[in-house]
Amino acid sequence: MDMVMQGMREVLFFGILPDAAAAAQMTGLGRELANGDRLCPADRLHLSLLGFQLDVWRRDTLLAIARRVGAAIATEKFDVVLPKACSFARREASGSLVLRCAPAATGLLTRLKDGLVDAAAANGLNLRGPSRFTPHVTLAYRAAAISETTLDRPISWRAREVVLIRSEQGRGRYTYVDRWPLGST
């Protein structure tokens, strides 16, 4: 049976996972700021770079392309710094509670995302189109809006790899498909 008909969509995305210490800090901050809203579990916290729907009829082809795209990553390790908490509004009345990246990390992440888009195009997958890229980590969904808040201490970690993740939306399941280490430094 078609997964979309079952109420589930599969999405593939490239992301950066926080280390255990940063994930624990984010979980604690989420509890503090989200007022009981639906928190993201620590093992699903991530910073998304680029994603696309996984078509059930082309799954193997899209996975192969995604692996070639990941293998083309040529970025050095860098620090992800999240100094601000804020809300991302959605069309519905509620939105998401997120941590936003500092400008230096935003520039690096934007270049990394653009490199992934270019590698996807070189492998026959056109993912260009209108999109604004605001690097962030989502702490809670369906959260009450908060004003942008500068954290007393930014949350940070060293990005050491890019991970390809398959998300079963509607079921809240992630599968880590592949990983690519970032270069030295």
What tens digit of pLDDT does each residue of 72-86 get? 998 999 999 999 999
Residue whose structure tokens are 């293998």: 71
pLDDT in tens, 10-55: 889 999 999 999 999 999 999 988 876 788 999 999 999 998 887 7
pLDDT in tens, 94-151: 678 999 999 988 999 999 999 999 999 999 888 776 568 899 999 998 777 888 999 9
User: In angstroms, what CA-CA distances link 69 with 27, 83, 137, 142, 161?
Assistant: 31, 30, 22, 33, 14
Tell me the CATH architecture of domain 17-181.
Alpha-Beta Complex (3.90)
Q: Residue 1 has what pLDDT?
A: 35
Q: Residue 48 has what pLDDT?
A: 94
